[in-house]
Structure 1
Amino acid sequence: MFSYRHAFHAGNHADVLKHTTLIATLRHLMQKEAGITLIDTHAGAGLYRLDGDYTETGGEAKDGVVKLFAALRPLGKPPATAAPALAEYMDLIASFNPAGALRVYPGSPFVMHHLLRAESRDRLKLFELHPTDSKVLAANIAQLEAGRQIAVAREDGFEGIKAFLPPPPSATGSKRAALLMDPSYEVKTDYGRVSACIQEQLKRFPTGTYMVWYPIIPRPEAHDLPRRLKTLSNQSKRPWLNATLAIGQDPTHGPEDRPGLTASGMFVINPPHTLKAVLQAALPQMLAVLGRGRGQGQTVDSGG
């Protein structure tokens, strides 16, 4: 159960898609002054070294954020014109690497913290059950000295969010929340738990913004998840958006090589009305840089 470590995959193409979508969504939501509760159900360690043992072993950042920076923001050269969402994503990553070289990658907790507004009294709730990652996460967050603005719990995020949704009212009396759910899907039951959890939260707090990352792999549960989320959104009469990115097979790998993850998606319930256009501008450029072989593609669908 605890064999998955996101440190092996930090900064890969899935993180590029996930965090670009996350930043674009939160930026829009934070145009309103009212405070918002942010929740990350599977927070991981929070920060990752791109020159550490884990990332060097997997090397997935090289086909993700490193490749993106090399093409669109090369050191010592004028940057290429990037789609606004990608430019903001790279700006945020660069803020964690003031020396220039990419050595640190911020996970979702630090992406969210970077966007928190003290004046609006935004709050961040982080859940991580992995014994090692939860300890590292707590230590990383402690360095921020954010006080009550951030809460970290070594707890099952699927269950832990029930205490925070519906969220407490902001200073203006409105209730606002955005949730990111990106389990490892290491066990097949994660797919069912995601859909069941989203179904429950849509009943408890139908106006929240729910962001679900999922892998696109040859497994029935994986194919069924976005369809299930679409059905739940339609049944609840809530708008939805589904964005996918497939970078394709590495042409240097032979048929006996394990391909690894080559595609993933982000499903957003109650997305900002601007998100579709933002991703339609960013995803083709993302694919042009990160695509590498057969099976490339990207889509942005919406409904509701």
Structure 2
Amino acid sequence: MNYRHAFHAGNFADVVKHALVCHLVEYLKRKDKPFRVIDTHAGCGLYDLGADEASRTGEHVEGITRLMASPAWDDPSLASYRGVVEKVREAFGAQAYPGSPMIARRLLRRQDRLSAYELHPEDARRLAATFAGDPHVKAIELDGWLALGAHLPPKEKRGLVLIDPPFEESDEIERIVEGLRRATQRWPGGIYAVWYPIKQRARLERFHQLLRESGIRDVVAADFYREPLRADERLVGSGLVVVNPPYTFRDEASATMKTLLPVLGSGSAANCGILALAAE
């Protein structure tokens, strides 16, 4: 396993993903009953955009840094996400950026819990250090795919599973679909959110088709294209597949992506959309 998210923290794909995830967590908070967030590929949890890894790629410059300098940062569709990022920077410094587990943690209430899994030894160590002493969080060094099989359903019976794999293997999309299929059988009522990179049209269409054929019900895809699809392997966009999306999610995701499009897109060809892959 070679992928290290520290090199890509705060890039355009992170911004879109995290802004949409905030809507999912906020929806769960509408009821008083407790819920659990399960992050299967959690990374470090917290990143320093001034550190060597992020400085080497500079990807955050066209992501969170550009967004925070734009009028769009104050848009109501980003209110939850904006609140988390600003509170994290107040707590950890002006170059801090929260990963998915930190975003989830900042949105939890007293009765809610977070389970964060990471397989990479160094990132798992950092993750544990980030949440050391926090009774609301379990940081576990474990393959997130194993967690999907062994730790579902959670005792809270309500919650969100975040799946953000590194996409290092050629069969990653097949593994995602099979993992989702098994997870939804174990915990049919959970919300599942899967992030994926958008590079080649054929691979994107295959992923969507596999989901359609999987038998999983109630599936939507929120796709954000920074630039048009190409024939090469360059990252041109990112998507978030959501199983059992809240009834509010489509409108919220659409509004959020439309707010981000003129800031994070690379021109007039940038685009976004919500696609229904399977009915309820």
Q: Residues of 1 paired with 2:105 and 2:170: CA distance?
A: 30
State the SS of the aligned residue for 2:224: strand
Q: Distance in 2 between matches of 1:93 and 1:105?
A: 7
Change (3 A) 1:138 1:264: same
The match for 2:218 is 239
Q: Which has the greater radius of gyration?
A: 1
Q: CA deviation at 1:94?
A: 0.9
Matched AA of 2:82: M
| Superposition TM-score, scaled by structure 1 size | 0.84
Matched, 1:49 2:48: yes
Matched position secondary structure for 1:226: helix
Check conservation: 2:43, 2:99, Cα contact below 8 A: yes
Which residue does the alignment assign to 1:27?
A: 26
State the alpha-carbon separation in 2 of the partners of residues 219 and 193 from structure 1.
Answer: 19
Aligned structure 1 segments of 4 or more residues deviating by more than 3 angstroms: 99-102, 219-223
Q: Secondary structure at the match of 1:45?
A: coil
- Partner deviation per Cα, 1:1-29 (whole Å, 9 max, x = no partner): x2211001001111111111110011011
Return the alpha-carbon distance in structure 2 between the equivalents of residues 21 and 10 of structure 1.
16
- Conserved? CA contact 1:47–1:106, under 8 Å: yes
Counterpart check, 1:167 vs 2:154: yes
Q: Distance in 2 between matches of 1:122 and 1:101?
A: 26
Is the Cα contact below 8 Å between 2:199 and 2:234 reproduced in 1?
Answer: no
Secondary structure of 1:243's aligned partner: strand
1:291 aligns with 2:265: yes
Contact kept? 2:28, 2:159, Cα under 8 Å: no
- Note the alpha carbon deviations across 1:189-233, whole angstroms, 9 max, x for none: 32221111001011111111000000111275444223322333x
Q: Distance in 2 between matches of 1:156 and 1:219?
A: 29
RMSD: 2.2
For residues 23 and 196 of structure 2, the distance between their equivalents in structure 1, rounded to whole angstroms, comes to 18
- Deviation string, structure 1 residues 10-67 (Cα, Å, up to 9, x no partner): 0111111111111001101111111112100000011100111111111111111111
Q: Distance in 1 between matches of 2:40 and 2:208?
A: 18
1:69-110 deviation digits (Å, cap 9, x = unpaired): 11127xxxxxx651x232321221111112998400000110
CA distance in 1, matches of 2:224, 2:274: 9
CA distance in structure 1 between the aligned counterparts of 2:70 and 2:204, rounded to whole angstroms: 31
Residues 30 and 99 (structure 1), Cα distance of their counterparts in 2 relative to 1, 3 Å cut: closer
Superposition deviation, residue 295 in structure 1: 4.6
Q: Which residue of 2 aligns with 1:132?
A: 122
In 2, Cα distance between equivalents of 1:197 and 1:229: 11
For the pair 1:270 / 2:262, whether they are aligned, the reply is no
Letter in 2 for 1:130: H
What is the CA-CA distance between 1:301 and the residue it aligns to?
A: 2.1
Q: 1: CA distance between counterparts of 2:65 and 2:178?
A: 36
Contact 2:20 2:256 in 1 (8 A): no
| 8 Å contact from structure 1 (residues 93, 105) kept in 2 | yes
| TM-score relative to the length of structure 2 | 0.91
The residue identity in structure 2 corresponding to 1:141 is F
Query: Match for residue 218 of structure 1?
Result: 200
- Asked whether the equivalents of residues 126 and 151 of structure 1 are also in contact (C-alpha less than 8 Å), the reply is yes
Q: Work out the CA distance in 2 between the residues paired with 1:81 and 1:128.
A: 33
Percent of paired sites with the same residue: 35
Q: Unaligned 5+ residue runs, structure 1?
A: 74-79, 250-257
For structure 2, list consecutive stretches of 5 or more residues without a partner in the other structure. Answer: none
Once the two structures are TM-superposed, the CA of residue 112 in structure 1 deviates from its matched residue by: 0.8
